[in-house]
């Protein structure tokens, strides 16, 4: 449940006149445009804001993955948790420009997921499942029925393989969506064949952002979306509205002040020629749909409603006239017209009802007594109503498959509606198949029927926070992961949170490991002869799986969570940790400091106060990923760190991007340039062959002997943003490449500087540590050694 202050901020963000003017703006066009991409933040927000708020089109964003394989500049969420976070960011970004979202992928356990960077479209489709991906996009075409489809990226070498895959799928799906014999199972779901009228490619390059490097120039522009003026409700430039939307992708550091705002986006009409407008040849008003006078009457009423704004009574009167006119047309038009355009008329009726509710200033708030309830549990849906100009209001809870249904309730000012969770409800994460701008999202929402000026209008309201089925046995182990350098023996205390009696817990132990009770806690007892390897032991409570619930809460997306089955993980390996005093400067984007502690290193986390103090008590200082971009105190301490290196310290900098406050000449002790665009300076194959260029270098010989075997079993990729140029003091230590490419030697560099040393690595060690890759721990341990 939101706090009072959170509710007040939400209300302040929805001023009456802006809400009403934007609701009226939906009525201006019967067209729908779909923008396709592979990740949350791939959408072309500025252009979409223009198409929605200047042209009046319905906007749909089709996205293949949840972005769970990406980075996070805000916090520690990775994998599935990041996928939940970025899904919420996409929903809020869509809300900001009044767009719908169609998801093709459903999280990290679905084949269509963000598995990390790829350089090949066909390889990406093979991993996702080519037919599966295309079928899901055909489904989206048939569900949302776009007139125009625009991929954000071109299918050209130098572009992200995920982007290329989605652009390939977008074009292949065009013909299949119109073919009644393709995916006939869709008919049982009420989805009919649909022919997209226009398919555009971007006539801009995707290689000017520091990430990609399109090798082929964009196709010639045949069309253009041009922003004329500014938004009538807010006065904002359309592109600025788009950047406000992009700012919700904060985990990806999106949202920038661009002056002057962009006003034009060139497009290439596939199979077409130059045209004056993207709307050329398409119905731009209801009267274009068929020869019926009621359609022209509705268009005229829409214009009258805009002219009457902000006179609420006049707006409502004209919108009711438009609704009646459309109803006549729906009853009298022939089947041939309704089969082609009936969805447009139905959509307009829903948009009219939403606009009437906005004009009548009907405010309905739906909150939950608990947003997380176990199967078989119950909770209250609390409804607060400010009726505005409505004579009466009733609400009907719309419940998904996890909840029992509930009856409609007439509400004057408020109501509490009891809801219950089905006993067989599944514990799932927040990966809904779509998100709709007109509401009706989540496991429970409200259908509101209000009587206004003698007519019943219906609209949908989402709950303040999304409801999610909670696991019956939420549990945490502390620690949840043990790193055991071999040979290892002895007992390791493990606490449960909340406390669970030992006899209720279940763990299947391999040979060499056992669990004993130790007071109120457990003890993992390690016997001599434990074999090297990773041991993942599922935890049960009373015979049922236990789950970890990871809360996710940021101001721009609100509260949610990620749930996963709980396992006790043990990594037993040949590992020696040097006896050095280590300082760790985290940037909030990795868990390297946590893993240093789990390895048994003598590490101190350097916050702002500690970093401002003396550094001579440390042998080695490690700077975490992105830290120069997120820690102003670190930038201020750079000169002191350089002096500390010269006096004998070992400075280790982990993976950074050029945008993370990295100045090649002043951030490192000697000049070191981070390569850009990243596509040219990364190795995406996690199994790519690695050559040790200096096998006898101190970082390879001790305290652990590093060999090619330490690069086995890596996940996702080798690394990215490799150094592209460096001072002669630096020695390149590794060479690697993706297939068919020249070897890159900037993934691990080390330089003797004065009495000390600076080592920089672009290997994704932070990710490999999270995945418990043995070689990553051994390499990390060697980087901790004294200069």
Q: Which residues is 395 bridged to in the sheet?
A: 409, 448
Question: What is the length of the chain?
Answer: 787
**133-175 tens-digit pLDDT:** 999 999 999 999 999 999 999 999 989 999 999 999 999 999 9
**663-689 tens-digit pLDDT:** 999 999 999 999 999 889 999 999 999
Q: What is the mean pLDDT of residues 395-412?
A: 95
Give backbone dihedrals phi and psi of 469, rounded to 5 degrees, phi first: -70, 125
Cα Rg of the chain, angstroms: 29
Is residue 516 scored above 90 in pLDDT? no
Is residue 586 scored above 90 in pLDDT? yes
Which token pair is 492?
A: 């390791």
Q: Count other Cβ atoms within 10 Å, centred on residue 456.
A: 11
pLDDT mean across residues, the chain: 95
State the angle between helix axes of 45-53 and 16-25 in degrees (0 to 180), rounded to the nearest 10: 80
In angstroms, the CA 135 to CA 75 distance is: 35
Q: Count other Cβ atoms within 10 Å, centred on residue 604.
A: 15
Which token pair is 160?
A: 């992200």
How distant, in Å, are the alpha carbons of 183, 283, 350, 666, 702 from that of 60?
Answer: 22, 18, 16, 45, 55
User: If DSSP codes are grouped into helix, strand and coil, which group holds residue 337?
Assistant: helix
What is the secondary structure of 675-717 as a DSSP string? PSSGGGG-B--TT--EEES-TTSHHHHSSS---GGGGTT--S-
pLDDT at residue 210, as a whole number: 58
Is residue 520 scored above 80 in pLDDT? no
Is residue 441 scored above 90 in pLDDT? yes
- Answer positive or negative: Cα dihedral of 237, 238, 239, 243: positive
Alpha helices in 309-405 (DSSP H): 312-332, 335-359
* Beta pairing, strands 468-469 & 372-373: parallel
CB 645 within 8 A of CB 624: no
In angstroms, the CA 267 to CA 251 distance is: 29
Q: Which residues is 330 bridged to in the sheet?
A: none
User: If DSSP codes are grouped into helix, strand and coil, which group holds residue 79?
Assistant: helix
In angstroms, the CA 382 to CA 403 distance is: 16
Residue 521 banded pLDDT, cuts 50, 70, 90 = confident
CB 206 within 8 A of CB 200: no
Distance of CA 258 to the CA centre of its chain: 23
pLDDT at residue 251, as a whole number: 96
Residue 517 banded pLDDT, cuts 50, 70, 90 = confident
CB 26 within 8 A of CB 98: yes
Q: Out of 524-533, 640-649, 750-759, which region has the weakest mean confidence (pLDDT)? A: 524-533
pLDDT at residue 589, as a whole number: 86
Return residue ranges of the chain for CATH 2.60.40: 363-469, 476-571
Compute the C-alpha angle 81/85/90, nearest 5°: 145
User: If DSSP codes are grouped into helix, strand and coil, which group holds residue 9?
Assistant: helix
**351-369 tens-digit pLDDT:** 999 999 999 999 999 999 9
CATH architecture of 576-783: 3-Layer(aba) Sandwich (3.40)
Which token pair is 773?
A: 């890759």
Return residue ranges of the chain for CATH 3.40.50.880: 576-783
3-class SS letters over 577-611: CCCCEEEEECCCCCCHHHHHHHHCCEEEECCHHHH
In angstroms, the CA 533 to CA 34 distance is: 48
What is the secondary structure of 83-128 as a DSSP string? HHHHHHHHHHHHHHHTEEEEES--STTSSSS--S--S-HHHHHHHH
User: If DSSP codes are grouped into helix, strand and coil, which group holds residue 5?
Assistant: helix
652 contacts: CB under 8 Å, gap ≥ 6:
620, 621, 622, 623, 758, 759, 760, 761, 783, 784
| CATH, domain 363-469, list 3.40.50, 2.60.40, 1.20.120, 1.10.10 | 2.60.40
Which token pair is 381?
A: 């849906």
Which token pair is 319?
A: 């919108």
Which token pair is 30?
A: 């019967």
User: If DSSP codes are grouped into helix, strand and coil, which group holds residue 284?
Assistant: coil
Rounded (10°) CA dihedral 227, 233, 237, 241? -100
In angstroms, the CA 271 to CA 268 distance is: 9
Whether domain 31-278 has CATH 1.10.3720.10: the reply is no
**449-504 tens-digit pLDDT:** 999 999 999 999 999 999 999 999 999 999 999 999 999 989 999 999 998 887 88
How distant, in Å, are the alpha carbons of 17, 213, 468, 618 from that of 218?
Answer: 41, 12, 44, 53
pTM of the model: 0.91
- Answer positive or negative: Cα dihedral of 624, 629, 631, 636: positive
How distant, in Å, are the alpha carbons of 105, 134, 524, 748 from that of 360?
Answer: 38, 43, 64, 64
Is residue 518 scored above 90 in pLDDT? no
Residue 249 banded pLDDT, cuts 50, 70, 90 = very high
Give backbone dihedrals phi and psi of 554, rounded to 5 degrees, phi first: -135, 145
In angstroms, the CA 623 to CA 703 distance is: 21
Residue 736 banded pLDDT, cuts 50, 70, 90 = very high
- In 3D, which of 757, 722, 727, 754 has the Cα closest to residue 738? 722
**29-50 tens-digit pLDDT:** 999 999 999 999 999 999 999 9
Distance of CA 83 to the CA centre of its chain: 5
pLDDT at residue 427, as a whole number: 93
pLDDT at residue 134, as a whole number: 98
Q: Count other Cβ atoms within 10 Å, centred on residue 667.
A: 22
How distant, in Å, are the alpha carbons of 202, 606, 707 from that of 151?
Answer: 7, 45, 44
State the angle between helix axes of 161-178 and 130-144 in degrees (0 to 180), rounded to the nearest 10: 60
Compute the C-alpha angle 659/88/11, nearest 5°: 105
27 contacts: CB under 8 Å, gap ≥ 6:
56, 302, 305, 322, 348, 351, 352, 355
Could you tell me which CATH number the domain at 476-571 has? Answer: 2.60.40
Running DSSP on this structure, what letter comes out for residue 441? Answer: -
* Beta pairing, strands 58-63 & 99-103: parallel
Q: What is the mean pLDDT of residues 169-197?
A: 97
Which token pair is 679?
A: 């596509």
Is residue 208 scored above 60 in pLDDT? no
Return residue ranges of the chain for CATH 3.40.50.10320: 31-278
Residue 213 banded pLDDT, cuts 50, 70, 90 = confident
Which token pair is 533?
A: 């390897």
pLDDT at residue 209, as a whole number: 57
């Amino acid at each position: 449940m939101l706090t009072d202050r959170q509710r007040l901020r939400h209300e302040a963000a929805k001023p009456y006149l802006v809400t009403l003017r934007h609701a009226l703006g939906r009525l201006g066009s019967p067209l729908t445009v779909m923008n396709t991409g592979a990740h949350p933040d791939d959408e072309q927000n500025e252009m979409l804001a223009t198409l929605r708020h200047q042209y009046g089109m319905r906007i749909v964003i089709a996205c293949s993955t949840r972005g769970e394989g990406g980075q996070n500049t805000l916090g520690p969420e990775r994998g599935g948790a990041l996928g939940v976070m970025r899904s919420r960011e996409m929903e809020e970004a869509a809300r900001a420009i009044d767009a719908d979202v169609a998801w093709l992928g459903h999280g990290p356990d679905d084949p269509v997921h963000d598995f990390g960077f790829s350089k090949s479209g066909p390889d990406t489709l093979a991993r996702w499942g080519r037919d599966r991906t295309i079928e899901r996009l055909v489904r989206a075409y048939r569900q949302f029925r776009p007139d125009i489809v625009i991929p954000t990226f071109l299918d050209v070498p130098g572009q992200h393989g995920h982007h290329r895959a989605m652009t390939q799928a977008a074009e292949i799906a065009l013909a299949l969506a119109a073919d009644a014999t393709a995916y006939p199972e869709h008919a049982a779901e009420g989805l009919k064949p649909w022919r997209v009228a226009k398919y555009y490619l971007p006539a801009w390059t995707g290689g000017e952002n520091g990430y990609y490097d399109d090798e082929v120039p964009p196709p010639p522009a045949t069309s253009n979306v041009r922003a004329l003026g500014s938004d009538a409700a807010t006065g904002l430039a359309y592109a600025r509205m788009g950047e406000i939307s992009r700012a919700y992708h904060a985990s990806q550091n999106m949202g920038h002040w661009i002056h002057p705002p962009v006003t034009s986006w060139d497009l290439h009409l596939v199979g077409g020629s130059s045209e004056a407008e993207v709307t050329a040849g398409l119905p731009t008003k209801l009267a274009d749909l068929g020869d019926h006078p009621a359609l022209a009457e509705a268009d005229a009423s829409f214009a009258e409603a805009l002219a009457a704004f902000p006179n609420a009574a006049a707006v409502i009167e004209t919108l009711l006239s438009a609704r009646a006119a459309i109803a006549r047309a729906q009853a009298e038009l022939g089947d041939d017209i309704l089969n082609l355009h009936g969805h447009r008329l139905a959509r307009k009726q829903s948009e009219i009802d939403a606009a009437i509710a906005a004009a009548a200033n009907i405010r309905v708030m739906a909150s939950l007594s608990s947003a997380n309830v176990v199967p078989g549990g119950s909770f209250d849906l609390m409804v607060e109503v400010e009726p505005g100009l409505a004579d009466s209001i009733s609400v009907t809870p719309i419940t998904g498959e996890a909840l029992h249904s509930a009856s409609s309730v007439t509400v004057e000012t408020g109501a509490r509606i009891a809801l219950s969770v089905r006993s067989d409800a599944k514990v799932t994460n927040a990966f809904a198949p779509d998100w709709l701008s007109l509401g009706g999202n989540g496991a429970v929402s409200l259908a509101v029927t209000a009587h206004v000026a003698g007519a019943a209008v219906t609209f949908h309201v989402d709950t303040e926070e999304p409801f999610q089925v909670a696991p019956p046995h939420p549990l945490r182990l502390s620690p949840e992961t043990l790193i055991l350098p071999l040979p290892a023996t002895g007992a390791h205390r493990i606490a449960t949170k909340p406390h669970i009696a030992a006899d209720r817990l279940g763990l299947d132990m391999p040979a060499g490991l056992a669990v004993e009770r130790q007071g109120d806690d457990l003890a993992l007892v390690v016997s001599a002869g434990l074999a090297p390897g990773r041991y993942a032991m599922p935890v049960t409570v009373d015979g049922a799986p236990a789950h970890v619930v990871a809360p996710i809460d940021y101001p721009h997306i609100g509260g949610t969570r990620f749930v996963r089955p709980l396992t006790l993980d043990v990594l037993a390996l040949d590992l020696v940790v040097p006896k050095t005093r280590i300082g760790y400067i985290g940037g909030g984007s990795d868990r390297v400091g946590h893993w240093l502690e789990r390895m048994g290193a003598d590490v101190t986390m350097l916050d702002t106060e500690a970093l401002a103090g003396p550094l001579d008590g440390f042998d080695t200082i490690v700077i975490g990923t992105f830290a120069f971009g997120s820690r102003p105190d670190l930038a201020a301490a750079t000169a002191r760190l350089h002096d500390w290196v010269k006096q004998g310290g070992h400075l280790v900098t982990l993976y950074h991007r050029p945008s993370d406050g990295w100045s090649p000449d002043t951030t490192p002790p000697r000049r070191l340039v981070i390569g850009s665009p990243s596509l040219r300076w990364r190795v995406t194959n996690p199994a790519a062959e690695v050559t040790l260029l200096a096998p006898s270098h101190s970082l390879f010989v001790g305290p652990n002997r590093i060999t090619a075997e330490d690069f086995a079993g890596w996940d996702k990729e080798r690394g990215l943003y490799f150094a592209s140029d460096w001072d002669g003091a630096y020695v390149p230590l590794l060479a690697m490449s993706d297939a068919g490419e020249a070897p890159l030697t900037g993934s691990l560099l080390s330089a003797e500087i004065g009495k000390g040393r600076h080592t920089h690595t672009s290997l994704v060690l932070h990710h490999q540590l999270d995945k418990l890759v043995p070689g990553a721990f051994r390499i990390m341990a060697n980087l901790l050694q004294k200069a």
